[in-house]
Every structure is written in structure tokens, then in C-alpha cells.
A and B are shown apart, each in its own frame.
Chain A
């Protein structure tokens, strides 16, 4: 059976599809969080250097990865909206920004709590930490710029440019530990593999997938509200059962 993918890029069909998918993403995310944290706190051993403190990694690394990937996805949608003038892409970019900002904040917060006992400082202005902070500001700038322009289409275009330009920061975050002397250690998960203990890896990847599913569920829920808001003058919105009641 051939699926017409373009059908789902129209807000009309996407709205219903997203509504059906959200519960599944939400439930599987909650389950995977439980499994990942069980492996991380019960199965995985203590670290030979850092003892129990290293267990912050199971939320710190997934949150950092999500903050960077979500930015690229957001910039990608913003670019699609700018180039093809598709309504849904711009709405998706707007829906992703708050979740990305929260993951960037969680990454910085858990990193500070990890840095204090292990390095001896909550914060240092090294390249990795500073570029991640810039990422948080880029998200906040995107949200603020979009909110400050009344005409939604103009707001989409202006904030899309900011998102696209800011995506230069993502590779800088990733490679900062390689390019400069930083206090932050190098990447544990490299393209060539990892030296990490198996149970630690499993816990980290499970929480990573849980975070992904959580992000998808929240973004879909948010984009549904944005669709309702922006398309409220159309007949299909006024015929929705939740609107008619």
C-alpha cells in the first residue's frame, strides 16, 4: 500500500495523526525512563574514580545530546518553512524551541552539579560549557524573536534566519573538547566506539531513547495547539469534535 507522505505534511491530517501518536510516545517514554534508571542505579556498578557521583551521566549526556539534536531539527524545519513556505514546518520549529531550551538547561544544571564535587567548580568558562550556554541563549532568542513579531508568517521568517545562523554553534559544541584545551573531558561515545562499562552504556542509551520519545510527545502536543491557534478560521478546525462540543 502506497502511503502518501505529503498527505501528512498538511496540518489537517497531521493534527489527527499527532493526536493518535502522543499517548504511545508518552507511555513508552515513561517505561524506558523507569528501565533506564533501574539499570543506571541498580545494575550499573560504581565508577572506579568517581564513585556514585558519575551516575549524573545518565541524565546529563542524554539531555546534552537532545539539546543539540533538537536544535538541528528545529533549524531544519525552520529552513524548510523558509524555502518552501510550508505552514507546518514553521509550526514544528516553533513547537520544538521550548523543549530544546529545557534540555539545554537540564544539561547545564546537571553539569554544574557534577562539576562541583568532581572538578572542584560549579562553572568554568571553558569552550564546551560556554558554547552550550550560547545554545541555551539561541533557543531563548528564537522564542523571544518569534513572540515579539505579531504577524506569524513574518515571525516565522525572522526567527528561521536566527535558527539557521545559530546552527553553526552545534558542531562547535561537539568538537570544542577536541579543538581547544577544556576542563570538560573528551567524548565518551566516539564514532569509533566507547570504552564504557556495558551496563552504564545500556542505562545511558535507554534514557536517551526515553528523552527522545518524551521530546516527540511534548512537541507533538504543543504543535497541535499551534495548529489550532493558527488555523482557527478554517472550516476543518470548526468541524473538529473537540471544538464543536
Chain B
């Protein structure tokens, strides 16, 4: 009697056996790695958001990182020219940060930032390190200007709302 199909692992050709073995090993490993990374979630992530900090998900009594955006209009420099006060926000919660040192070039209001330090009982973070997090968009300065103007025009149009006497919209293409 000849079998047309391998029915059990022992009936299979060595090459098929190896193939099944490899697939199973990779699948098993992928699941294991996935579970480990999932369990380590908070350790794999580089920073906590202000919301997580308010939900007590961030560590207490030791240094950690907070990431978010620098709130518009929140950056204040002290008279010594080195100490900076700013607010990190994720648009739900925000945390005030005090940092003494040199800021990276891309540190700007409204842009991404990651600060490392301790949060004291008063809810302020005293940071020892501030890193800038930039976005994945690359464009020419003129294009960025045009985009900003278009946004402003849209906002103005929205503010002016429905009235038919809408002013001639400034052409966004410049």
C-alpha cells in the first residue's frame, strides 16, 4: 500500500519535516517574543505621557522620562539665561518642567520634547536632560511657510464663519 499523502510527522520526507519544524519554531518564537515585549511594555517605551503620570502609571521616587509637546506660550527663561521653565502637554494633561542647561536646537513651542528627571511632591519635574523629538516630515522652508499660511487662512475662514462677505482668501500658493 502506498500512501499518497504524508499523514504524520514520521511519514514525511526529511525536507518537509525540516520545513514544518522551522515554521513552527519561528511562529513559537514570535509568540514568545510578543508576549515578553507586551509584558515589558512600560520598560520598552522610552517615556511616559503626562496622562500616564497623572494616572500614577509612572514610577515614584526615581528618575524617568516624560514626553509630549512643549505647550505654546509656556517657555519662560530665568534671568540667569540658563534655567528654563516650560510645560509638557499631551493635550489632556500637562506637567511643568524646570531645566537648567542647554536645550537642543529643535526645542520649540508646539514641538515634541522628552525630558528626564524626577517629579517632586509639588508636581513639578526637575529635569537633568531635555531631548527634542522631531516629526517625520521633511520639506523646504517655503513649503512649510505656505502650509502655515494656508492653515492660518483656513482658521480665519472658519472664524469668519458663514457670512457671504468673506474676504478674498489670500492665495496659499503664494
* A contacts B: CB pair < 8 Å: yes
Binding site for B on A (CB under 8 A): 45-50, 54, 57, 79, 82-85, 117-121, 124-127, 161, 164-165, 167-168, 172, 179-183, 185-188, 195-197, 200
Are A48 and B130 in contact, with the CB atoms below 8 A?
no
Contacts of A182 in B (CB 8 A): 45-46
A186 and B67 CA atoms in complex are apart in Å by 15
Contacts of B33 in A (CB 8 A): 168, 172
Are A84 and B15 in contact, with the CB atoms below 8 A?
yes
> Separation in Å of the B101 CB from the closest CB of chain A?
10
Are B45 and A183 in contact, with the CB atoms below 8 A?
no
Q: A119-B133, A124-B46 are in contact. List 12 more A-B contacts (CB 8 A).
A: A46-B140, A48-B139, A49-B144, A84-B15, A118-B104, A119-B134, A168-B26, A181-B48, A182-B46, A183-B46, A195-B136, A196-B137
| In the complex, the 4 A-B pairs of residues with the closest C-beta atoms, listed nearest first | A120-B104, A48-B144, A45-B140, A126-B46
B89 interface residue per 8 A CB criterion: no
Known interface pairs A118-B104, A185-B134, A188-B137; A164-B22 also in contact (CB < 8 Å)? yes
A121 and B113 CA atoms in complex are apart in Å by 13
B103-161 contacts to A, CB under 8 A, are 103-106, 114, 129-145
Are A83 and B18 in contact, with the CB atoms below 8 A?
yes
A82 and B135 CA atoms in complex are apart in Å by 42
Q: Which of A120, A126, A186 contacts B136 (CB 8 A)?
A: A186
Question: How many interface residues does chain B have, given as a range?
Answer: 35 or more
Contacts of A167 in B (CB 8 A): 26
Are A183 and B141 in contact, with the CB atoms below 8 A?
no
Contacts of B105 in A (CB 8 A): 117-118
Contacts of A82 in B (CB 8 A): 18, 22
Contacts of B144 in A (CB 8 A): 48-49
Contacts of B67 in A (CB 8 A): 181, 183
> Separation in Å of the A71 CB from the closest CB of chain B?
14
Contacts of B12 in A (CB 8 A): none
Are A49 and B134 in contact, with the CB atoms below 8 A?
yes
Are A185 and B135 in contact, with the CB atoms below 8 A?
yes
- Produce 1/0 per residue, B45-58, CB < 8 A to A: 11111000000000
Contacts of B25 in A (CB 8 A): 161, 164-165
Dominant SS among interface residues on chain A = loop
> Separation in Å of the B91 CB from the closest CB of chain A?
15
Contacts of A54 in B (CB 8 A): 138
Q: Which of B29, B130, B136, B141 contacts A46 (CB 8 A)?
A: B141
Are B29 and A165 in contact, with the CB atoms below 8 A?
yes
Are A118 and B106 in contact, with the CB atoms below 8 A?
yes
Are B46 and A168 in contact, with the CB atoms below 8 A?
no
Are B46 and A188 in contact, with the CB atoms below 8 A?
no
Known interface pairs A165-B26, A183-B133; A83-B19 also in contact (CB < 8 Å)? yes
Q: Which of A46, A47, A180, A188 contacts B44 (CB 8 A)?
A: A180
Which A-chain residue is minimally distant from B18 (CB atoms)?
A: A83
Contacts of A120 in B (CB 8 A): 103-104, 129-132
Contacts of B141 in A (CB 8 A): 45-48
A180 and B46 CA atoms in complex are apart in Å by 8
Are B140 and A181 in contact, with the CB atoms below 8 A?
no
Are B136 and A187 in contact, with the CB atoms below 8 A?
yes
Are A196 and B139 in contact, with the CB atoms below 8 A?
yes
> Separation in Å of the A75 CB from the closest CB of chain B?
9
B82 interface residue per 8 A CB criterion: no
A226 and B105 CA atoms in complex are apart in Å by 49
Known interface pairs A119-B104, A119-B131; A172-B46 also in contact (CB < 8 Å)? no
B9 interface residue per 8 A CB criterion: no
A200 and B48 CA atoms in complex are apart in Å by 33
Known interface pairs A127-B44, A165-B26; A118-B139 also in contact (CB < 8 Å)? no
